[in-house]
Homo-oligomer: A and B are copies of this chain.
Amino acid sequence: MNHLEYEPFIGFIGTGSLGFPIAENMLKSGASLRIYNRTQDKARTLEAYGAVLVSSPADAIPVTGGILISVVSDDQAMQQIVDSEQFWDNWSAGGIHVCMSTLSEDMALAMAKQHASHGVQYVSAPVFGRPEAARRRQLSICLSGSDSKTRSNVQALLQSVSQSCFDFGDRADAAILVKLCGNYMISAAASTMADVSQFISRKGLNPHEVNHMLTSTLFNTPIYQNYGKIMADQPDGFQMNWTALKDLDYFRKAHSKIDSQSELANVLYNMFHS
């Protein structure tokens, strides 16, 4: 018996690089999805799996109560969704909004409050994993917010797209904070690998050999192995991408709220933020 069978349909917002494979896997597992994406054409191929494409965020909300999943890029994109026409009207029967985006701490707390004021459960469910991992249903998901029964239902739903779920309790910000910490650690790891490959290369040694040694012994995890290979191929080519910088910035802002700071996160951010 699949939890998905109980759902009339699930709303789904955001079929970007991560949202797309998540939606695809949910459809393949038998879910009925009503999908909104800002650029509708990017979701078009999901119709072959039974997805119904809709033209506004509000149209994706199960008006008789149910679940909405959103996978958007940042605070601003989430704000646009909740500010969109009819969004709150269509939640009149209540339901659960599962936000898989990595928002800022402040935004997660504001969202939880605003949803609660409209009688909607809000669950933070940011994911670790690249699009390939999403395709292989190997995401790791952090959950928090709402109550344990709701999170338990959400966890059952997300089993079809992930390899592990970790429950961090009732605070909507908790899962976000864990995700920001993890992304900070990934950025630090990638930057040290880039540093090492560039250094080794400038010293006239082979960065692939050094990378092999380090990632087959002390640092034998996919993060170091994957980044190590990329950096060894292009020892001078590392740039931190937009998403990583956004999350470093959210991490810094979460620090500033408790009057602390991460010197490492600051230097990483400033190194790559142009």
| Chain A, 148-201, CB within 8 A of any chain B CB | 164, 166, 168-169, 171, 173-174, 177-178, 181-182, 184-186, 188-189, 191-193, 195-196, 198-200
Q: Is the CB of B128 within 8 A of A199?
A: no
B188, B221, B262: the one contacting A199 at CB < 8 Å is B262
Oligomer: number of copies: 2
State how many angstroms separate the Cβ of A125 from the closest Cβ of chain B: 13
Question: Hey, which chain B residues are within 8 Å of A220, CB to CB?
Answer: 221
Q: Is the CB of A199 within 8 A of B260?
A: yes
Q: Report the bound CA distance from A267 to B142 in whole Å.
A: 31
Q: How large is the interface on A (under 10, 10 to 19, 20 to 34, 35 or more residues)?
A: 35 or more
B140, B174, B203, B221: the one contacting A205 at CB < 8 Å is B174
B171, B200, B255, B271: the one contacting A177 at CB < 8 Å is B200
State how many angstroms separate the Cβ of A245 from the closest Cβ of chain B: 16
Chain B residue, CB-CB nearest to A268: B264
10 pairs across A/B with beta carbons < 8 Å?
A: A128-B217, A168-B205, A177-B200, A181-B199, A184-B192, A185-B193, A199-B254, A203-B254, A218-B221, A220-B221
The 10 closest A-B pairs by CB, nearest first: A181-B196, A140-B217, A166-B213, A188-B192, A267-B267, A185-B192, A202-B258, A195-B262, A178-B210, A221-B221
